[in-house]
Chains A and B, each alone.
Chain A
């Protein structure tokens, strides 16, 4: 059974960079046609797709966040990471990592990590 777990700081100051890592267990990040994904959900709102990465390093980003987002993968450690720069209070959300089956829809999710942007 594939499991995903987010880790990283829960508090980030405005204008700084948010960094999170997702560790995948129960399966290899290189197996199957899977795209490793970051999704966020502001309090009381619907989810927002941030972007995903294939194990080869190919990335796709939400156009609205593209200038500030970077997703990377470390296949030797079976994890992938998110960096979001120049954060503001609007970036406060629960951040989820997920597995994108064929990149289309998301079948395994982490528990989520609340990140608050505040001074």
Chain B
């Protein structure tokens, strides 16, 4: 099984900050990575797929990069609606695994 490790687990930031979240895969997954945003009591929402492709309707302040084993989700200017937990998910081969999550909280 491919393991996904996110860092940090918690990130404290202010509105307007540029923030980055890292996701590492235990083996190469090429660009087969998606990012999700989840708010309390809600289902995850797809933000990015294929490491860097923005899902339709997602604001352009979100961006993704990376390939192989290391990936980054960046929010260029944090907005009040962005305080949430973020998960990466790999889709290489026949299994699917998620990271343990990064909570972005208000500083």
Partner-B contacts on A (CB < 8 A): 45-49, 60, 62-64, 96, 98, 101, 103-107, 109-112
Contact B43 A46 (CB under 8 A): no
In the complex, are the beta carbons of A105 and B44 less than 8 A apart? no
Interface residue tally on B, bucketed by range = 20 to 34
Query: Which residue from A49, A63, A64 sits with its C-beta under 8 Å from B98?
Result: A49
Residues of A within 8 A of B87 (CB): 46-47
Smallest beta-carbon distance B25→chain A, Å:
14
Residues of B within 8 A of A (CB): 1, 32, 34, 36, 43-46, 49, 55, 87, 89, 91, 94-101
- Known contacts A47-B87, A106-B89, A109-B44; 7 additional CB pairs below 8 A are A46-B87, A46-B98, A47-B44, A60-B94, A62-B96, A63-B95, A105-B49
Say whether A105 contacts B91, CB under 8 Å: yes
Q: Total A-B pairs in contact (CB under 8 Å)?
A: 48
* B98 and A104 contacting across the interface, CB-CB below 8 Å: no
Contacts of A48 on B, CB cut-off 8 Å?
Answer: 98
Interface pair B43/A49, CB less than 8 Å apart: no
CB neighbours of B98 from chain A (8 A): 46-49
Contact between B96 and A49, CB atoms less than 8 A apart: yes
Residue contact B1 to A63, C-beta cutoff 8 Å: yes
6 A-B pairs with the lowest CB-CB distances in the bound complex, closest first: A109-B43, A105-B34, A49-B96, A104-B91, A47-B98, A46-B100
